[in-house]
Amino acid sequence: MRHVDFSPLYRSTVGFDRLFTMLDGLGQPDQAQTYPPYNIERTGETTYRITMAVAGFDETELSIEAHAHVLTVKGEKAEEDKAEQSEFLYRGIAKRAFERRFQLADHVEVQSASLKNGLLHIELLRNIPEAMKPRRISISAEAVNAPKAIEARVA
């Protein structure tokens, strides 16, 4: 079992608390979630897609919330009518409630969500403000043939 002590870094950095908390959480296997399975893919230079397999859920049983750099997807199955319920010999399609959280980087926004063929697609966009984008600084060169003047006072 590996454990890294980040306390020396807490003393010499400012604003990286969330990063250290995330790194601490990576090493704890009891927090590992396996349901529902999902993919995260990069679809463009600044666009991403999270695809979750949510077989058996419809739009009314799913909720998506983005708040403070955390995207939360919840699924709660509606209660079935007991009179129409049949006896299962094998149940491979999970009907349990779930809550999956994704940490979003700065300036990542949820654009849309759609449900098709049992797959929930969440489209994300990384929108960096103009003030934070890199900009090119031009370098001016002095003319090489220009005469150089030295100031001197005449006595």
3-class secondary structure for 44-90?
A: CCCEEEEEEECCCCCHHHEEEEEECCEEEEEECCCCCCHHHCCCCCC
Residue 110: is it exposed, middle or buried by C-beta count within 10 angstroms (0-12/13-18/19+)?
middle
Q: Domains (ranges, CATH) in the chain? A: 1-32 (no CATH), 33-79+89-128 (2.60.40.790)
**pLDDT score at 52:** 94
Helix (H, G, I), strand (E, B), or coil: what is residue 125?
A: strand
Model confidence, pTM: 0.65
pLDDT digits (tens, 9 = 90+) for 6-17: 677 666 676 777
For the chain, percent of residues with pLDDT exceeding 70: 74
